[in-house]
């Protein structure tokens, strides 16, 4: 994960890093918040009953109970190009208050008009175990990086998981700072839901103009130019230990060479409170002289008879055109709470 990459490969990693936000969400947050207050650069959503206030230059957002979830958005001392200093500064905001810290960082990735590096994991303070999620944000018009920190009591993960997921997934460049563009029309997505769209345990959104063909196992999806091919498979939970490795082996065998996770292990995120385990595998493959991006995402929900396995394969160059769409698809995956 620490190897320097090209822009194309960074986009491949985006499918991993942004999808790794373990909190699922089937609900939408309701109030829109901006930071900084004057000339905002970053915007995100939060529930209406959460209290937001500016204090000493930072924006604080607190859950209704008064502190089981605390969000802080602040301008960092680290400059826009000093990633090492930004990571060190972000760690420093939690080092003194938390022990047994286990934080993992991702590579910087592009999404919603921003460049974002995620730093997250778990720690323990005097109130008990907590989830720690930090986004180190670069805005093209800013001289310093912005830190979005979300710290949630592990005991309250089930109660506030949907709200946390909505906030993290809604982070984007403020409208005033985005390049001029037509607003997307409402409803320009099509949704696959299992067992059905009206009451899904699992749901994924795809662009409205992509071909979507349901089948006995799930759904096959293809971009209009046929550069992107994706499959969503709903597999019996009894096969959860073998299906992913079997599919990786089968797909990998179609290429001349393939390297998974830069030679390392898959990223696995577990949330016992939510009963959810997510696994992310990414690979770069070669077929003749063409490089390919191969991505697997597996979501296992406790108590469900099925689990979701999504995989895509595409020429690496296709990410120049479809990188944002792939990111939105991965980020749209929703899993119903127990």
What contacts 191, CB < 8 A, 6 or more positions away? Answer: 197, 203, 204, 205, 206
pLDDT of residue 284: 93
CB-CB contact of 13 with 30 (8 Å): no
pLDDT of residue 2: 22
pLDDT of residue 51: 93
pLDDT of residue 176: 53
Residue ranges of the chain with per-residue pLDDT less than 70: 1-30, 175-187, 273-274, 337-338
Alpha carbon distance 210, 328 (integer Å): 13
Separation of CA 279 from chain center? 12
What contacts 52, CB < 8 A, 6 or more positions away? Answer: 31, 33, 46, 59, 60, 61, 62
Using alpha carbons only, give the angle 223, 229, 230 rounded to the nearest 5 degrees: 110
pLDDT of residue 273: 65
pLDDT of residue 4: 25
pLDDT of residue 161: 79
Query: Both tokens of residue 195?
Result: 């067992």
The radius of gyration of the chain from alpha carbons, rounded to an integer in Å, stands at 20
pTM of the model: 0.54
């Amino acid at each position: 994960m620490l190897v320097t990459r090209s822009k194309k490969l960074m986009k491949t990693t985006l499918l991993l890093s942004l999808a790794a936000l373990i909190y699922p969400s089937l609900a939408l947050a309701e109030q829109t918040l901006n930071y900084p207050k004057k000339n905002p650069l970053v915007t995100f959503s939060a529930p209406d009953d959460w209290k937001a206030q500016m204090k000493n230059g930072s924006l604080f957002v607190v859950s209704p109970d008064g502190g089981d979830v605390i969000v802080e958005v602040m301008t960092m001392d680290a400059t826009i190009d000093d990633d090492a200093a930004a990571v060190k500064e972000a760690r420093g905001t939690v080092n003194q208050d938390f022990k047994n810290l286990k934080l993992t960082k991702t590579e910087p990735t592009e999404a919603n008009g921003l460049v974002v590096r995620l730093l997250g994991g778990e720690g323990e303070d005097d109130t008990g175990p907590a989830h720690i999620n930090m986004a180190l944000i670069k805005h093209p018009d800013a001289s310093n990086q912005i830190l979005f920190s979300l710290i949630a009591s592990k005991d309250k993960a089930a109660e506030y998981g949907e709200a946390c997921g909505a906030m993290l997934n809604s982070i984007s460049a403020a409208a005033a700072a985005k390049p001029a563009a037509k607003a997307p029309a409402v409803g320009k997505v099509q949704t696959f839901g299992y067992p059905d769209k009206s009451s899904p345990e699992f749901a994924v959104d795809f662009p409205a103009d992509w071909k979507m063909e349901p089948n006995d196992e799930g759904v096959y999806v293809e971009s209009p130019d046929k550069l992107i091919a994706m499959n969503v498979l709903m597999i019996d939970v009894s096969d959860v230990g073998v299906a992913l490795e079997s599919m990786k082996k089968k797909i990998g065998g179609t290429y001349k060479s393939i390297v998974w996770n830069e030679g390392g292990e898959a990223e696995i995120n577990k949330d016992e409170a939510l009963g959810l385990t997510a696994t992310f595998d990414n690979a770069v493959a070669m077929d003749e002289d063409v490089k390919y991006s191969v991505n697997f995402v597996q979501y296992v929900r406790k108590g469900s008879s099925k689990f979701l396995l999504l995989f895509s394969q595409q020429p690496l160059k296709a990410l120049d055109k479809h990188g944002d769409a792939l990111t939105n698809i991965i980020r749209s995956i929703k899993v119903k709470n127990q």
